[in-house]
C-alpha cells in the first residue's frame, strides 16, 4: 500500500473513505458527502458523531462486561 493512502474515517458522519482519491472532493477529515455540507452544519454533524462514537464505545464496554 502506498504511504499516505489509507482509509480515513469521516469526522462528520463516521464513514470510512479512501484519501486521497483522484477526482474526489474529500479532504483528510471529511468524506465527499460531508465536504458538500456547509461548515456550520458540519460542525453539528461532528458533534453528533462524537456522541455516537462515545455511545458505541460505552455499549461495547457494557457488552464485554455485563454488570453483575
Q: Could you list the residues that contact Zn ion (CB under 5 A)?
A: 10, 12-13, 15, 31, 33-34
Spatial CA neighbour of 64 closest among 54, 50, 56? 56
What Rg value do the Cα atoms of the chain yield, rounded? 15
**Which residue number, 4 or 24, has a Cβ lying nearer to Zn ion?**
24
**Which residue number, 19 or 31, has a Cβ lying nearer to Zn ion?**
31
The H-or-E segment that residue 53 falls in is helix 39-64
**Which residue number, 13 or 19, has a Cβ lying nearer to Zn ion?**
13
* Cell 458533534, residue located: 47
Q: How far is the CB of 49 from Zn ion (least distance, A)?
A: 8
Amino acid at each position: 500500500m502506498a504511504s499516505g493512502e489509507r482509509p480515513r474515517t469521516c469526522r462528520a458522519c463516521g464513514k470510512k473513505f479512501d484519501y486521497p482519491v483522484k477526482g474526489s472532493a474529500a479532504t483528510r477529515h471529511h468524506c465527499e458527502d460531508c465536504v458538500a455540507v456547509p461548515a456550520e452544519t458540519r460542525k453539528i454533524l461532528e458533534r453528533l458523531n462524537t456522541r455516537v462514537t462515545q455511545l458505541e464505545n460505552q455499549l461495547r464496554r457494557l457488552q464485554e462486561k455485563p454488570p453483575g
